[in-house]
Structure 1
């Protein structure tokens, strides 16, 4: 059984999550304790050493992000349970961490648990949570690093190293300026959401490009040429937005 801990200041939310886990994942979880604050959660984590922590963000005295400052080594995985603002959600996504929006949907919960179970045995929790705290402290348009989930774990890439992203069914290929390609286990839509809005633009159902690496645009052929010489299609529906973005970006 998976040893798990729930940290949430709302008693009803604690009970609902516990009952949902018992109903849809019988005999899979051992909820060692339910805590209503960061301080009590820290004590429980040190006492029980859980594998997984369900962590609320908005709590009265300290928010959930502050919990990680009490640990030199993070050896547990985290699934955030939150109704928090969009910036925090973006930071969580960029850090390759899971989150569940309240009220929690059982299908979303199942997906998060499946990802937890399928993760590489080598723990990436420490790096992911450190990256989360870094992303929370930077301007939304100038994120220094993004953690892109891969089959093996995740890969840290500076957003300015990304040349373009291409849809590959339910996965996404990230082409970097050094000509290397990274296969990400997320959709193009997900990747688009966590990239800085000022620099990246969707030009086609299959492509998101970094505007900083555009060399020219051919309106006749509806093709954009990038600094590496590649030419990518621009769809009719995306053309006007793309041209406006180029003009604003420069």
Structure 2
């Protein structure tokens, strides 16, 4: 059983999540305490030492991220909950952490629990949370490190080292400037959403490129040439958007 604490200032949201866990996942999660603030949540975590914390981001006195100020070492997994798909969601995704959008439904909870169970028992929660807090404090252009989910856990990659990303069915290949490839267990669409918008551009249904490594564009062939000599296709629908992005990136 996964020992679980729920932290949410809305009693109705607490109850809905608890009932969802009890009804659909009775043999998975055991809710040991529900809390309505960061302070009471800290006490509950120190008391019960849970495996998992469902943590609301927006709360009146202290937001959910402030919870981590009270722990030198984080030994529990976190699934964030929020009613707003705001800037924090991108930082959470970039840190390979999990979140649920309210109103929470059983399918999303089930998927989150499956991902939790599939993780390596030697959890890297501390590193991921440190990366999250780092990403929360910078603007989109200055994001450097991104944690990309893989079959074995996650790969920490500097965005400035990414040459391009290629769709591989429901996975995505990250090609770095050193020639090394990382296979990511997310779609190209997901990866595109967490990359810095100022540097990366979708040029084709299968490719997102780093504009900083473009050498030239062959308009007749509709191909972009990168610094490593590779030529990638630019779709007709993406051509104008790509050219505008190149001009803005000068």
State TM-score, norm by structure 2: 0.98
Identify unmatched segments of 5+ residues in structure 2. none
Q: 1:85, CA displacement in angstroms? A: 4.8
| Whole-angstrom distance in 2 between the partners of 1:217 and 1:86 | 35
Between the aligned partners of 2:175 and 2:71, the Cα distance in structure 1 is 36
Residue 176 of structure 1 pairs with residue 176 of structure 2: yes
Within 5 Å, give how 1:1-250 maps onto structure 2: 1-250=1-250
Moved more, 237-246 or 18-27: 18-27
Could you tell me how far apart the structure 1 residues matched to 2:220 and 2:205 are? 19
The separation in 2 between residues aligned to 1:110 and 1:172, in whole angstroms, is: 24
What TM-score, normalized by structure 1, do the two folds share? 0.98
Task: Report the aligned-residue RMSD.
Answer: 0.8
1:7-61 superposed Cα distances (whole Å, 9 cap, x missing partner):
0000000000001111211221110000000011011101101001000011111
Q: CA deviation at 1:81?
A: 0.6
Secondary structure of 2:68's counterpart equals: helix
Q: Within 1, Cα distance between the matches of 2:68 and 2:196?
A: 25
- Show structure 1 runs of 5+ residues with no match: none
TM-superposition CA deviations, 1:146-176 (whole Å, max 9, x none) = 1111111111111111100000111100000
Could you list the per-position Cα deviations for residues 84-139 of structure 1 after superposition, in whole angstroms to 9, with x for gaps in the alignment?
35210100000000000110122221111111010011111000000000000011
